[in-house]
Amino acid sequence: MGKEENYKLNRDKCAYGHCAHNHGYGNGHHESCVSLVPIFNHLEDEQMDEIVEVIKSSSYKKGEIVYSAGDKSDSLYIVRSGRIRIYRLSESGKEQLVRILKPGDFTGELALFSESIHESYAEAVEDTKVCMITRSDLQNLLMKFPSISLKILSEFSRRLEESEKQTARVSTEKVETRIASFLTECVNKKDGSMEFVLPMSKKDLASYLGTTPETISRKLSELEDEGYIRQGPHRKIKILDLDGLYDA
Amino acid sequence: MGKEENYKLNRDKCAYGHCAHNHGYGNGHHESCVSLVPIFNHLEDEQMDEIVEVIKSSSYKKGEIVYSAGDKSDSLYIVRSGRIRIYRLSESGKEQLVRILKPGDFTGELALFSESIHESYAEAVEDTKVCMITRSDLQNLLMKFPSISLKILSEFSRRLEESEKQTARVSTEKVETRIASFLTECVNKKDGSMEFVLPMSKKDLASYLGTTPETISRKLSELEDEGYIRQGPHRKIKILDLDGLYDA
DNA sequence: CGTTAGGTTGAAGAAGTTCAAAGAAAGTGG
DNA sequence: CCACTTTCTTTGAACTTCTTCAACCTAACG
């Protein structure tokens, strides 16, 4: 479990290594995640100050578990740096990768508003720093600054849309199609460039797409043989025929 | 498309057949859905009045489409009576059932807060009445009554949790397990009773669980042969061995 | 009461999983 | 920086699960 400190106490002392990067950037918010994440960074300085008051900070070493299924959930976690893997274990014990959090993303939402038990696991993929807000503090903030709710609602609806799309994909498309559309989306996110690095291991990709590493490996080879893509070392992938990939 | 009327103008005239059921129930809110749905019914009467002002009402005959993928989305739809099927069409043209809305449920959320194009289809399963609030009206309400946001956030997080669970199920469990856990949940919702009616056709169930009607039919027969359940007429199902079903 | 949509059943074939084994990459500690 | 260990990845082959198609049956609906 990560060490937890009251961030308020440290906000001007820069007790963390990462602060070095933030020195001299202007206003006093750079030291916390408040000014970094989309759900808060639209607020006025004074409002941010109020949030900073209730935020706690915590860090996790690579491989550490942030929370487990069954844990009581009473905080919202916001990633400040690093990456967090969110996954589930099915009844039959298989792992299913739900999503990977990057800086600015948050998790812990489910339990904040409805139930209070986590159903998924959160694991630091690399050394990771997070900000935490407790349920009650957050609810106070939401009542006080309704615009935060709108931001979170916006993020929720985006995520819901994505999750439902993912369900539809896994339940109606065959593996090859799922892989193809995943690759296509990687390109879209890269905005044009036909070359990119897979955002996760093929093992995780298999888990995310609802298949096995063996099948991923085979299907990628097939796509390569058919001339749609080329695989480089270190998970590098180059799309050779985007349109062909779509139809495949 | 359903006929649309400004509900405000009619709220005291009872232009709708259903109003007959509501006459004489006490306060003036029973005629609209405001007092019926969880996201609004916790408010004060005066606040509800304000919402009633901006609500429009609309009704759809069985089989009518409420919205289609690709339509611009600018309203939240709240089901007042009837049922609405939400489904997606995959790139390969297959239909995937996302959820079925009952009275009190809402949809249209995605586009209200982030994108503005529907990715799914909404179809009235039976004659259905809905209340609608436009995006801008809703956003005003949310800023004015922050507690509404909390309700919607709560519903979103519940739905998100459910959707992610569904994704995990479809991607890690085999069909028989998915069916078994679906049946188990039907029992849980019925709170104890081991007998219930499938909430949808087996065709829709197949689409919801990511399989085919043929497979559903076969697996249910198998479960029956193995003594876990008994199928009655009219989609009636009785669970004979709940624990066995869990492990199967 | 006939028409249409939903449901069942069989048989054949496709798609994906599993297991085993070996090779490649990444992390660990000297 | 190297050697070592661990984890990830690839490949083959047997096997399982599920889909598909076609036929037939049954319930729902105008």
Domain CATH number, residue B199:
1.10.10.10
Cβ neighbours of residue A9 under 8 Å, at least 6 residues apart? Answer: none
Q: Do A113 and B170 touch (CB under 8 A)?
A: no
Q: Could you tell me if residue A93 is inside a domain?
A: yes
Question: How distant, in Å, are the alpha carbons of A118, A205, A207, A233 from that of A197?
Answer: 31, 12, 18, 9
Question: How distant, in Å, are the alpha carbons of A44, A70, A190, A228, A237 from that of A195?
Answer: 39, 40, 8, 12, 6
Give the Cα separation of B200 and B60 in Å (integer).
19
Structure tokens at A144: 């006080």
Same domain, A190 and A218: yes
d(CA B113, nearest CA chain A) in Å: 5
d(CA B206, nearest CA chain A) in Å: 10
Nucleic strand D near CB of residue A63 (< 7 Å): no
Q: Could you tell me if residue A219 is inside a domain?
A: yes
Q: Do A110 and B172 touch (CB under 8 A)?
A: no
pLDDT of residue B11: 37
- Using the 3D structure, point to which of A157, A191, A207 is the last residue of a domain: A157
- Using the 3D structure, point to which of A105, A128, A157 is the last residue of a domain: A157
By C1' distance from the Cα of A214, the closest nucleotide is D10
pLDDT of residue A222: 96
pLDDT of residue B192: 75
Nucleotide D26 C1' to residue A164 CA (A)? 34
Give the Cα separation of A106 and A124 in Å (integer).
13
Q: Do A146 and B150 touch (CB under 8 A)?
A: no
Nucleotides of chain C in contact with protein CB (under 7 A) are: 6-11, 15-20, 25-26
Nucleic strand D near CB of residue B212 (< 7 Å): yes
From the list A109, A161, A167, which residue is nearest B166 (CB)? A167
Phi-psi category of residue B14: left, alpha or beta, with phi > 0 → left and psi -120 to 50 → alpha: left
- Using the 3D structure, point to which of B92, B126, B157 is the last residue of a domain: B157
d(CA A141, nearest CA chain B) in Å: 10
Place of tokens 């002002």: B53
Residues of A in contact with B88 (CB under 8 A): 164-165, 168
Domain interval for residue B128: 3-157
Same domain, A150 and A180: no
Structure tokens at A81: 């740096």
Mean pLDDT (whole number) for A64-87: 93
Same domain, A47 and A89: yes
From the list B88, B115, B171, which residue is nearest A96 (CB)? B171
State the DSSP string of A186-242. HHHHHTT-SEEE-SS-HHHHHHHHTS-HHHHHHHHHHHHHTTSEEE-STTEEEES-H
Nucleic strand C near CB of residue B221 (< 7 Å): yes
In B11-127 the beta strands, taken as DSSP E runs, fall at 56-60, 65-67, 75-81, 84-89, 95-101, 106-107, 121-124
Give the Cα separation of B9 and A245 in Å (integer).
54
Cβ neighbours of residue B22 under 8 Å, at least 6 residues apart? Answer: B30, B31
Q: Do B157 and A156 touch (CB under 8 A)?
A: yes
Whether residue A118 contacts residue A237, with contact meaning beta carbons closer than 8 Å, is answered with no
pLDDT of residue B76: 93
Using the predicted structure, report yes or no on whether residue A27 has a pLDDT greater than 50: no
- Number of domains present in the structure of chain A: 2
Go through B9-31 and write b for each residue having 16 or more CB atoms within 10 A of its CB, e for each that does not: eebeeeebeeeeebeeeeeebbb
Give the Cα separation of B166 and A98 in Å (integer).
11
Highest-confidence range of A160-169, A209-218, B159-168, B187-196, by mean pLDDT?
Answer: A209-218
Q: Residue B27 belongs to a domain with what CATH number?
A: 2.60.120.10
Mean pLDDT (whole number) for A70-77: 91
Q: Could you tell me if residue A228 is inside a domain?
A: yes
Q: Could you tell me if residue B163 is inside a domain?
A: no
Give the Cα separation of A9 and A18 in Å (integer).
17
Nucleic strand C near CB of residue A21 (< 7 Å): no
Q: List chain B pLDDT tens, one digit each, 248 residues.
A: 444 444 333 333 333 333 333 332 334 444 567 888 888 988 899 889 999 999 999 999 999 999 999 999 889 999 999 999 999 998 888 999 999 999 999 999 876 776 689 999 999 999 999 999 999 999 899 989 988 988 899 899 989 999 999 999 999 999 999 999 999 999 987 777 899 999 999 999 999 999 999 999 999 999 999 999 999 999 999 999 999 988 77
State the DSSP string of B28-52. TTTTSSTTTSTTTTTS-HHHHHHHH
Give the Cα separation of A183 and B117 in Å (integer).
23
What is the band of A225 on the pLDDT scale with cuts at 50, 70, 90? very high
Same domain, B38 and B60: yes
By C1' distance from the Cα of B92, the closest nucleotide is D19
Give the Cα separation of B149 and B171 in Å (integer).
32
Same domain, A188 and A142: no
Give the Cα separation of B77 and B212 in Å (integer).
30
What is the band of A32 on the pLDDT scale with cuts at 50, 70, 90? low
- Among residues A83, A139, A56, which one has the least CA distance to residue B157? A139
Q: Cα-Cα-Cα-Cα dihedral of A21, A24, A27, A29, to 10°?
A: 20
Nucleic strand D near CB of residue B211 (< 7 Å): yes
Distance of CA A188 to the CA centre of its chain: 18
Nucleic strand C near CB of residue B126 (< 7 Å): no
